[in-house]
Amino acid sequence: MTGPGARRRALVETVRWLMARGLYAGTSGNVSLRAPGSGRRGAAGAMLITPSGVPCDDVDAASIAEVADDGTARGPLAPSTEWRIHRDIYRSRPDVGAVVHTHSTFATALACLRRPLPAFHYMVAKAGGGDVRCARYATYGTPELSRNAIAALAGGRRACLLANHGALALGADLASARALAEELEALCAQYIHARAAGTPVILPAGEMRRVRAKAARYGPSRR
């Protein structure tokens, strides 16, 4: 990915990708991409982010907002009302290059129950912990909600639920962040179905640590 135009188009393509999989609808959700050169030093939270109040179908490259580390925005449209969560994640997590926030059906349903996603399935480990925490509720767009999300993501976790709100998925890039958002939604659906049928068996912490260690080495490989 090179140049600001390419990065803006990549954000739009990610919105379309999420829409096609039923993870986005209307004006819900937002996506951001860390600005080149921002990280541990300098403008750690500088980013490109989808605009506020624009239906998914209408988001285009020109509507993407640029937000500096101090919260100053540039562009024809205001940035997402959740820009602060994205900025604060980039400030605190130099390993994160992209953030996807969704109001997807099953993740949001679980978040509305204010329940974490436990280790009912080994794939929960892909989110970076033994479970996926549910951040405490706060009004959208507030510093309090941002602090709650950062706390739920502590320890290098790559996903969390937001109580009565939705979900966050983090990645080194847009491809990994959006893939995790899709996997998280599938896991939440499976967990809700399992609870409807009975009581899911929760895997022990030691097994989840072993799975996370194996997952760190997992990926495409040649024979």
Active-site annotation, residues: 82
- What are residue 170's DSSP bridge partners? 99
Which residues make Cβ contacts (< 8 Å) with residue 147, sequence separation at least 6? 88, 138
Residue pair 215/133 in contact by the 8 Å Cβ criterion: no
Residue written as tokens 């101090």? Answer: 70
Beta-bridge partner residues of 73: 67
Query: Helix, strand or coil for residue 181?
Result: helix
Query: 175: closest CA among 26, 33, 35, 27?
Result: 33
Identify the helix (H) or strand (E) that includes residue 188.
helix 174-197
